[in-house]
Amino acid sequence: MIPQKNKPIKIFIILLIFLSVVLRLLALPYSNRDMTIHNLQWYKTLRQQGVEKALATNFANYTPPYTYFVALATLTDSFIPPLTALKIIPTCFDLLGAFFIYKIIKLKYPQGNMPHLAAAIYFAAPTILLNSTYWGQADSIYTSALLICLYFLMTEKPLAAMLAFGAAFSFKAQAVFLIPFLAIMLFRKKFHWLHFGLIPLVYLLAIAPVVFLGRPLMDTLLIYVKQSGSYPVLSMNAPNVYILFPNAWYAFIMPLGIAVTLLVVLRWTYMTTQATTALDHKYLLLMALISVIIVPFMLPKMHDRYFYPADVFSILLAFYEPALWFIPILYQLTSLGATSVFLIKADPAFVVFGFLANAIALAVLLKKQRTDENRGAANKIIANGLSWLAAMLTPIILFGFGLQALATPIFVRTTYALSQAPESQFQLSKSERFHWAAQNVQYLTNDRKTKFLQNLRFEDDGLVLNWHEITLLDYAKKTVQTALALRNIALAFYFMLGLFAWAGNWLPTLRRGIFNGGWLAVGLAILLALAGSFYFGDFNFYFQETNILRQLFPDSFWRDALLLMLINLSAGGFLLIKIGGRRRG
């Protein structure tokens, strides 16, 4: 990006601003469930009860500073529709954010149109426009305060920076995503640790008006604690790995995820504080961007909007480091995919693709950090540990793919065609058995409920399955779906390990893990073969009180299933051994 003051750039900036203003005006009348259930109800409460009386209660699940703006919006009730008034609040902070985007870019480009171009791109960015003017969310409020904090740190005004961060935290708890960056700045002596005391001070000043009006102090202080208990789900369509975890695992995964996040973030913060890289503006922006990505990327219970600061900070970094021009594009796509599930009921698969893009962007940024810091070899203990994690994930992945292949009508048809069992031993014809067996195996991998099995009937209206058979299939469904979920999670971790091995320069160690994983898969195949030789035989014990299931899945079916699983594990394992061994050589 070369700062040139020319007419085409000026025209582009004007067109960009004009387009964004038009789109915002068109977006103002649209409502959504969040506005209907929450924001408009808060507006209504303030209008009906009066500002002083309402602010003395916990009528909103946001912190008091946001409700002050809602209270101001009610003053326009006679000439601005409530929905429009509420959306104007975050839109005004978009303008504030654009101003500080301009200020930060002007530090690099004192002359020319680059600061104006950056501000215009930010103001017209799809995720910024949708979040504020279309959705009416408050993310631009705290993020604009984070931009102010960043600007003052870059201009070496730590007092003003921490006051701005305190303001950001007073609006939204998600401001803490920048805490690792601030910790790095503290240890690199960009400000004194006493400056952190400004954060609670600003928060106390921010809530003082409602406490003065009569709201209990502890009730106000513990708002964020209460918010953390809301929505007991691992991911609210956030583009991180937790989108792949079944929410039934919440009680186990949530504390584990928090613990892993603390270890990873502390490790990254410590390693960064040890670097001797000059704290120039480009490096500060890189660290700030990684900070607001790595925390929500690692944490469970994140929402679809929590990468909003990454959307904003990535635009800044692209102007300071043009080679990373694709990073803000990745985050626009990532956040659009995540928020589209709520806004337009899009397919949740978009969030999974967003997670993949998110992981790629983070790996690229970590690689860039490593290059800038001239960091040496990766820590051997950590690299070896992650290598063995890849090894242990390998048989899970291969087993999961084998299981998915078994739970298909194609496998049922194949094993029926290969079966040598005489038809006389079955009450149903081969075509009937295939039809009902295909229905059952499909049930194992789809979202249908038990009622689907209860409604399966023969032509004479007789029930296909009895209660015990339905119970067995329901148990099998839970087992299969758990195994497939583990396969998907293992694949995701494999993907991330590959990316971060590349970023951390420990790819040879990861290849050793793949090699070991191949042997583990072969070992699992041997164990299954031995188990099959001992326990494979009469399945009557497992199919007591069944009639139809015994016909649909005879002994030949299970022999073929075991054989296919053994081929899948051993062939996949030997392939990985060959690949890993060749790479090592």
How many domains is the chain partitioned into structurally? 3
Residues 217 and 239 in one domain: no
The per-residue pLDDT for 568 is 95
Q: Is 7 helix (H, G, I), strand (E, B) or coil?
A: helix
Strand spans (E) along 409-480: none
Alpha-carbon gap, residue 527 to 521, rounded angstroms: 10
The per-residue pLDDT for 1 is 43
Q: Which residue has the higher pLDDT, 232 or 168?
A: 168
What average pLDDT does the chain have?
A: 92
> What confidence category does residue 544 fall into, taking pLDDT thresholds of 50, 70 and 90?
low
The answer as to whether 170 is a domain residue is no
Strand partners, 463: 457
Residues 422 and 345 in one domain: no
Strand partners, 236: 303
Q: Which of 402, 390, 385 lies closest to 519 in space, CA to CA? A: 390
Q: Is 204 helix (H, G, I), strand (E, B) or coil?
A: helix
Residues 54 and 201 in one domain: yes
Residues 99 and 216 in one domain: yes
Residues 60 and 204 in one domain: yes
Out of 176, 206, 225, a domain closes at 225
Per residue in 498-537, pLDDT tens? 999 999 999 999 999 999 999 999 999 999 998 877 765 5
The answer as to whether 417 is a domain residue is yes
Q: What angle do CA 260, 261, 267 make, to 5 degrees?
A: 90
Residues 405 and 358 in one domain: no
Alpha-carbon gap, residue 384 to 390, rounded angstroms: 10
The per-residue pLDDT for 513 is 95
The answer as to whether 442 is a domain residue is yes
Alpha-carbon gap, residue 523 to 346, rounded angstroms: 42
Per residue in 291-315, pLDDT tens? 999 999 999 999 999 999 999 999 9
Per residue in 194-236, pLDDT tens? 999 999 999 999 999 999 999 999 989 988 888 877 788 999 9
Highest mean predicted confidence (pLDDT) among 266-270, 421-425, 560-564: 266-270
Per residue in 229-262, pLDDT tens? 778 899 999 999 999 999 999 999 999 999 999 9
> What confidence category does residue 2 fall into, taking pLDDT thresholds of 50, 70 and 90?
very low
Domain extent for 547: 382-584
Per residue in 138-165, pLDDT tens? 999 999 999 999 999 999 999 999 999 9
- DSSP letter string, 163-197: HHHHHHHHH-GGGGGGHHHHHHHHHTTSS-GGGGG
What is the amino acid identity at position 462? Answer: G
The per-residue pLDDT for 376 is 80
The answer as to whether 137 is a domain residue is yes
Alpha-carbon gap, residue 523 to 500, rounded angstroms: 28
Residues 245 and 336 in one domain: yes
Alpha-carbon gap, residue 553 to 77, rounded angstroms: 69
- DSSP letter string, 387-416: HHHHHHHHHHHHHHHHHHHHSSHHHHHHHH
Residues 516 and 434 in one domain: yes
Residues 258 and 215 in one domain: no
Q: Is 1 helix (H, G, I), strand (E, B) or coil?
A: coil
Q: 81 phi and psi, to 5 degrees?
A: -60, 145
The per-residue pLDDT for 552 is 84
Q: 419 phi and psi, to 5 degrees?
A: -65, 140
Residues 205 and 235 in one domain: no
The answer as to whether 297 is a domain residue is yes
Out of 345, 376, 407, a domain closes at 376
Long-range residue pairs from 424-429, CB within 8 A, at least 24 positions apart, any chain: 426/551, 426/554, 427/547, 427/551, 428/548, 428/551
> What confidence category does residue 424 fall into, taking pLDDT thresholds of 50, 70 and 90?
low
Alpha-carbon gap, residue 218 to 224, rounded angstroms: 11
